[in-house]
Amino acid sequence: MLSNNMFTYYLRLAMISLKRNRILTALMVAAIALGIGMSMTSMTVLHMMSANPMSHKEEQVRRVELDNWDVNRPWDEDNPAEPPDLMTYQDANNLVQAHRAEHEAAFFPNVLALEPDKRDVKPYMVEALFTTSGFFPIFEPPFRYGTGWSPAEDRSAARVVVIDSETNEKLFGGENSVGRKVRLGGEDYTVVGVLEHWRPTPRVYHVANGAFEDPQSVFAPFSIGIEKQLNSNSNNSCYKDSEPGYAGLLASECIWVDLWVQVKDEADAQRYLSFLNDYVGEQKKSGRFPRPTNNRVYTVAQFLEVQRVVGRDVRTQVWLAFAFFAVCLINTVGLLLAKFMGKSSEIGLRRAVGASKPAVFAQYLTESGLVGLAGGLFGLVLTGLGLLALRKLYAGTSIERLAELDWSMVFASLAIALIASLIAGLYPTWRACQVQPATQLKTQ
């Protein structure tokens, strides 16, 4: 067991040794720093992409999917077992009306013209999400002022709206605007809530046209969207023609509505799935759902996985970066070997005066670890620069949002650098332990 005293002694020896040959030390640190910089830059992007902002409600929040698709052709040819990821209006509406979960959030995005009261702000188009009131308790966007609306306001298509903090800043100078009016699409809406800055990454609730886009600026009741005869400006897919007109679309098999529910736990989720199966069974009687029953109540993590939010190319990029890191480590092994073998006479002397092989091993592994830590710290700087370059290069795109270093990645970088350098140091250190003192002492 290495005592504190000996560890401090080995650290001091390592510092002296590293200072002695600065160029060799710089090369080793640079090799590890470059490897860490490359791999952690791509890891950070992957880490942000594969994050799950709803992980605290993993059992409760469920994505509902029903397979209403063509009997002869699955929704996804590459993955025929998967049902469509969106839902028809009639199914979403029926399931919300049935209210068999704690909360239901059926929604679709579109745009509305916003006409500010302020003369200096010109009318502009805003991204709006037409959703049922269950959206707020399910996804828990933080409110700065007010709250969401009630199910009763859903049913009455009340002209209420929740706006994001940027819109509130633009329209009301950041003041508490609850109760004030916003003119959207030619109608006045009463502000019932103002969100704090909210940027779930990925934007789990709606990944259809970009999982890393910003949330919508305005949230209005689902029933208003229907009343205004809007449909999704994101994804709208049909496998057969619908009857003409908006009523035809609502009654069609076209899918364009997202549906999420909140259940109590896994058992409740299974009960909800049984309810879905019964519902589809009923629908089959009227000639709908020609395919075998294939309904899902995905957790957020499962949904993100199925949706391939993290693309294969991103994973490949991470693998390539780590392969580069491995090459850097192999170089470090060579440099450490050269350094330690250059100290054969010192090792021989230490062995002669009483250092056991484990003591020599601990001393040189400490030196390897110190190189790794230094490499990790410089690697963090390079990671920061790499992410900065990515943000500049991809300014205005979703990548810009993903290229941010967080504390978990800082600690991961240091831990990976330390572990990697200790592994890299194993062979050179083992070789150092094999030095025959008798030979070295005579040949000096």
Partner 1 sequence: MLKMTHLSKVYRTHMIETHALRSFDIHVREGEFVAVTGPSGSGKTTFLNIAGLLEDFNDGDYLLDGVSVKGLDDNARSRLRNEKIGFIFQGFNLIPDLNLFDNVDVPLRYRRMGSAERKERIEHALGRVGLSSRMKHYPSELSGGQQQRVAIARALAGSPRLLLADEPTGNLDSLMARGVMELLEEIHGQGTTIVMVTHDPELAARAQRNVHIIDGQVTDLDDAPRLGGEVAAATAAAAIAD
Least gap, CB of 370 to partner 1 (angstroms): 15
Least gap, CB of 16 to partner 1 (angstroms): 5
**261 three-class SS:** strand
Query: How many chain residues interact with partner 1 (CB under 8 A)?
Result: 27
Identify which range of 1-9, 31-39, 64-72, 95-103 contacts partner 1 by CB under 8 A. Answer: 1-9
Write the single-letter amino acid at 154.
D
Identify which range of 26-34, 232-240, 289-297, 430-438 contacts partner 1 by CB under 8 A. Answer: 430-438
CB 93 within 8 A of CB 106: yes
Put residue 354 in one of left, alpha, beta given phi > 0 → left and psi -120 to 50 → alpha.
left
Least gap, CB of 351 to partner 1 (angstroms): 7
Virtual CA dihedral for 290, 292, 297, 299, nearest 10 degrees? Answer: -120
Pairing of strands 143-146, 181-184: unpaired
- How many other CB atoms are found less than 10 A from the CB of residue 120? 5
Least gap, CB of 322 to partner 1 (angstroms): 35
Nearer to partner 1, 294 or 344 (CB): 344
Least gap, CB of 373 to partner 1 (angstroms): 21
Least gap, CB of 28 to partner 1 (angstroms): 17
Least gap, CB of 20 to partner 1 (angstroms): 5
Least gap, CB of 431 to partner 1 (angstroms): 16
Nearer to partner 1, 6 or 423 (CB): 6
Identify which range of 43-51, 69-77, 144-152, 436-444 contacts partner 1 by CB under 8 A. Answer: 436-444
Residues 125-164, interacting with partner 1 (CB under 8 A): none
Residues 210-249, interacting with partner 1 (CB under 8 A): none
Distances (CA, A) of 391 to 169, 184, 310, 314, 385: 25, 34, 18, 16, 10
Nearer to partner 1, 98 or 352 (CB): 352
Nearer to partner 1, 150 or 345 (CB): 345
CB 380 within 8 A of CB 36: yes
Nearer to partner 1, 167 or 344 (CB): 344
Q: How far apart are CA 322 and CA 412, in angstroms?
A: 14
Instruction: Give strand pairing partners of 163.
Output: 194, 218
Nearer to partner 1, 147 or 439 (CB): 439
Nearer to partner 1, 152 or 353 (CB): 353
Instruction: Give strand pairing partners of 124.
Output: 114
CB 176 within 8 A of CB 161: no
Residues 331-390, interacting with partner 1 (CB under 8 A): 345-346, 348-359
Nearer to partner 1, 81 or 353 (CB): 353
CB proximity list for 193: less than 8 A, separation 6 or greater: 136, 143, 145, 146, 147, 148, 149, 162, 163, 178
Q: Cα-flanking dihedrals φ and ψ of residue 184, to 5°?
A: -125, 130
Least gap, CB of 368 to partner 1 (angstroms): 18
Nearer to partner 1, 19 or 197 (CB): 19
Residues 3-22, interacting with partner 1 (CB under 8 A): 3, 5-6, 9, 16-17, 20
CB proximity list for 3: less than 8 A, separation 6 or greater: none
Task: Give the contact letters, 299-338, x = binds to partner 1 (CB under 8 A), - = no.
Answer: ----------------------------------------
Tokens of 197: 């800055």
CB 36 within 8 A of CB 381: no
Nearer to partner 1, 344 or 413 (CB): 344
Nearer to partner 1, 36 or 362 (CB): 362
Exposed, middle or buried, 410 (CB in 10 Å: 0-12/13-18/19+)? Answer: middle
Among 121, 247, 385, 441, binds partner 1 (CB under 8 A): 441
CB proximity list for 218: less than 8 A, separation 6 or greater: 112, 114, 126, 127, 128, 129, 161, 162, 163, 164, 167, 182, 184
- Check residue 97 for interaction with partner 1 (CB under 8 A): no
Nearer to partner 1, 155 or 357 (CB): 357
Q: How far apart are CA 105 and CA 354, in angstroms?
A: 73
Residues 163-202, interacting with partner 1 (CB under 8 A): none
Task: Give the contact letters, 49-78, x = binds to partner 1 (CB under 8 A), - = no.
Answer: ------------------------------
Instruction: List residues binding partner 1 (CB under 8 A).
Output: 3, 5-6, 9, 16-17, 20, 345-346, 348-359, 436-438, 441-442, 444
